Amino acid sequence: MIEMTNEYLESLLETSSEWEAELEAYALEHHVPIMEPLGIEYLQQLLRLHQPKRILEVGTAIGYSALKMNKVCPDAQIVTMERDEVRYDEAVRNIKRLDKEKEIHLIFGDALEQMEKFVQDGERFDFVFIDAAKGQYGKFFELAHALVPKGGLIVTDNVLFRGYVADDSEVPKKFKNMVKKLKLYNEMLMHHSSYSTVIMPIGDGVASSIKLF
């Protein structure tokens, strides 16, 4: 039933533009994890509602989500970070090809180190999107907490990770530790006194956390 529902909802989405289709095909061919169609649509809707001026993305990959965010928030400044050199180079090409270098600032390096620098420098972002190493989500969120003001939004992808977080009875051994950390992460989000969080079973699971104070 869930799979049929997802297929139905995806059939209602607008057809991908040429550049979107090219990046989606590249990601599929080269096994690059990008947001699933319903997940990215939900992310874009949150951006339409929130209208952030500065967006921080943790995990650029090939630039797909940064460009999709720019599509609905063309006036926002997007800062995005990637530590994989091959994906970073591909993201540079994609962003440059669409002439979005002014709107999207791409940083090569470790996200935790860069976020720590942002905190030290007093940087502020009113929207943070976390989509990188799942085992580091807790650390990413802790640093994001220091970067967003009251009313800021932190969005996290893959918090249900293929359904294994909800039902770990058949989780492959190689994912057991990650799933355990994601369970703890979700519990932290739902009980964090400074945030109101909703976890949506969309795509691979998307959590949106608004900072209350």
Binding site listing for Mg(2+): 131, 157-158
Q: Measuring CA to CA, which residue among 105, 99, 147 is closest to residue 124?
A: 147
Instruction: Show binding-site residues for S-adenosyl-L-methionine.
Output: 35, 65, 82, 110-111, 131
Return left, alpha or beta for 107; rule: phi > 0 is left, psi -120 to 50 is alpha, else beta.
Answer: beta
Q: Determine the distance from the C-alpha atom of residue 139 to the mean position of all C-alpha atoms in its chain, rounded to a whole number.
A: 15
Burial annotation 158-173 (CB, 10 A radius, 16+ → b, else e)? bbbbeebbeeeeebee
Q: Is 66 exposed, middle or buried (0-12, 13-18, 19+ CB in 10 A)?
A: buried
Query: Among all chains, which residue has been given the structure tokens 């989606």?
Result: 24
> How far separated are the first and last CA of the chain, in Å rounded?
39
Instruction: Show binding-site residues.
Output: 35, 65, 82, 110-111, 131, 157-158
Could you tell me if 85 and 158 are in contact, meaning their C-beta atoms sit under 8 angstroms apart? no
Contacts of 194 (CB under 8 A, 6+ apart): 145, 211, 212, 213
